[in-house]
Amino acid sequence: MKIPSLLLVAGAGAMTVAGLCWAAGPTPSDASPIYGVRIPAGYRDWTLVAPAQEAAPLDELRAVVGNRKALKAYRIGARAFPDGTVLVKLAWKHTPSPDFPPASIPGAATTVQVMIKDSRRYAATGGWGFGRFVDGRPVDQAQHETCFACHAARVKDRDYVFTRYAP
Amino acid sequence: MKIPSLLLVAGAGAMTVAGLCWAAGPTPSDASPIYGVRIPAGYRDWTLVAPAQEAAPLDELRAVVGNRKALKAYRIGARAFPDGTVLVKLAWKHTPSPDFPPASIPGAATTVQVMIKDSRRYAATGGWGFGRFVDGRPVDQAQHETCFACHAARVKDRDYVFTRYAP
């Protein structure tokens, strides 16, 4: 089948538009803007680092899990995490338990947030790449621009990682 | 070496006393009273089922992890958990984050609580054996007498398990 040359031109144009969208904001990719971080396969089976609660307005329960490199570094008390470390924070709305009044439990899932250590690729951001996902899709570039600034301002001395291991 | 008969009698007496202590309250064993449940090896690497928060007076952050049988049953939506299921609840004091004011994080560890499914051994308690541990040691019999009554009163229709899987 012969493809009309007009269609080829239109196709090239669409690719360019998609590229611009990727750089400018929400992206059709499954990778985060700026960092190109994806949700890692199998993370839901990883080992718990620690749970947390975030007060209003977010009002969430959270749990950070890590891959083997992450857990090993936590457990030996490493000063920095090695390349290949991946941390994933799961978050849900903070919801009263219908079964036991003093308890609150996870409601709807809100975000999945990922940190990946690659000291070469992410040399400009402390060695970390960041990804923030809602319903499996990365949020926009503006939100990703806030990740490193906050980590650098608050926990630079812990290799930019907020979460401590809960024994 | 010949063992004096008096020593043998004394030894038997000590065993009897130990047996009585075991039945009456705190036990020198690492197994829970009533159920004989121990803290399972390697549980700290198991997969997260869900975090939770418990309000005052306990004021705790918690996380339930499960072994493979537990997670498989949760993920297929099984009506009941199979024999061999083990669930472990870790708990810590609910402590303000020193790094990020809206967050609360795990403080000192408080209890580790274990449920083990063995429908024969624990037929009288819905198929579940319970263990509650502080600093790695089981708490007394009186506390263990409350486990099944509460689970039976509140979540009998979910195979006596409070915690739902947080996706």
The model's pLDDT over B65-117, given as tens digits with 9 standing for 90+, comes to 999 999 999 999 999 999 999 999 999 999 999 999 999 999 999 999 999 99
Residue B26 banded pLDDT, cuts 50, 70, 90: very low
How does pLDDT run across A79-100, given as a tens digit for each residue?
A: 999 999 999 999 999 999 999 9
Residue A19 clears pLDDT 70, i.e. is over it: no
Residues whose CB is less than 8 angstroms from the CB of residue A152 and which lie 6 or more positions away in sequence, other chains included: A125, A126, A160
What is the distance in angstroms between the Cα of B13 and the nearest Cα belonging to chain A?
40
Q: Measuring CA to CA, which residue among B83, B89, B150 is closest to residue B114?
A: B89
The reported pTM is 0.84
What is the distance in angstroms between the Cα of B55 and the nearest Cα belonging to chain A?
5
Q: Which residue of B has its CA nearest to A71?
A: B45
Residue A26 clears pLDDT 90, i.e. is over it: no
Q: Which residues of A touch B97 (CB under 8 A)?
A: 52, 162
Residue A28 banded pLDDT, cuts 50, 70, 90: low
> Which of A64, A97, A150 is the mutation pick for testing B, counting most B CBs within 10 A?
A97
Share of chain A above pLDDT 90, in %: 83
User: What fold is seen in the domain A3-20+31-158?
Assistant: Chalcone isomerase (3.50.70)
Q: Which residues of B touch A103 (CB under 8 A)?
A: 52-55, 162
Q: What is the pLDDT of chain B when averaged over all its residues?
A: 87
Q: Measuring CA to CA, which residue among A142, A71, A141, A144 is closest to residue A113?
A: A144
Residue by residue, DSSP assigns A25-90 as: S--SSSS-TTT---PPTTGGGSEEEEEEEE-TTT-EEEEEEE-HHHHHHHHHT-SSPPTT-EEEEE
Distance CA A72, CA B122 (A): 37
In B, what residues contact A, Cβ < 8 A? Answer: 44-48, 50-55, 58, 61-63, 65, 71, 90, 92, 94, 97, 99-100, 102-106, 109, 154-155, 162-164, 166-167
For residues B130 and B114, is the Cβ–Cβ distance under 8 A? yes
Distance CA B68, CA B43 (A): 11
In A, what residues contact B, Cβ < 8 A? Answer: 44-48, 50-55, 58, 61-63, 65, 71, 90, 92, 94, 97, 99-100, 102-106, 109, 154-155, 162-164, 166-167
Nearest to B92 among A46, A102, A166 (CB): A166
The ipTM assigned to this model is 0.83
For residue A29, what pLDDT is reported? Answer: 87
What is the distance in angstroms between the Cα of B95 and the nearest Cα belonging to chain A?
9
